[in-house]
Amino acid sequence: MSKKHYEDPEYAEATADDQAGDETAAEQAEAAAQPISGDDEAVAAAQKERDAYKEQFLRAVADFDNYRKRIERERRELSEYAATDVLLDLLPIIDNFERALQASAAAPGAAADKPDESEAFYRGIELIHKQMLDLLRKRGVTRIDALGADFDPNVHQAVIHESSAEHREGEVMQELQRGYKLGDRLLRPAMVKVAKRP
């Protein structure tokens, strides 16, 4: 480098700017390497506390939602359980209505001297029977289809086993008493006659 450069005021000014830039970068690096000041520590602590509260809040919301669902399920099950006794008491009455309807249909000439009264009586029983079945449906009670199905000990109660060449092994040949379910729960099993091999 020539002596002229050292004496040149523009060169001296540019060199001073370069050195100032280097010092500024060095100061920034040194500040980054230094421990966090009190204000920065307070901010970090506040953020950590905020995250902890947020997590607690989300956990509380999830717990409350689970609690609400559990209470709703228990309330529904309790309501169904309370209705079970009444529904069980109604089933024999419905059975008797069905027997009366079958008997009336099987003996149409029983009241030949008064056919109009016999027909009206039959229609009255049929109407009451239908209303009772509608009531059961509203309460979530459904019939168990047994006739022709394979015997299922979960929903059928076998009271007779009979040899039959016309039916397959374990097939329900006859339904002696209807079975009912309340939702997914068994209310009363169907009493059935089951076929066995001759």
Express each pLDDT in 13-53 by its tens digit: 555 555 555 555 555 555 544 555 567 888 999 999 999 99
Average pLDDT of 119-128? Answer: 86
Average pLDDT of 57-69? Answer: 93
pTM summary value = 0.56
The CATH number assigned to the domain with range 142-198 reads 2.30.22.10
Contact of 104 with 124, CB cutoff 8 Å: no
What local confidence, expressed as pLDDT, does residue 165 receive? 81
Contact of 168 with 198, CB cutoff 8 Å: no
Q: Where are the alpha helices (DSSP H) in the chain?
A: 3-7, 9-33, 38-106, 115-138
User: Which amino acid is residue 137, in one-letter code?
Assistant: R
What local confidence, expressed as pLDDT, does residue 38 receive? 60
What local confidence, expressed as pLDDT, does residue 108 receive? 56
Confidence of residue 188 (pLDDT cuts 50, 70, 90): very high
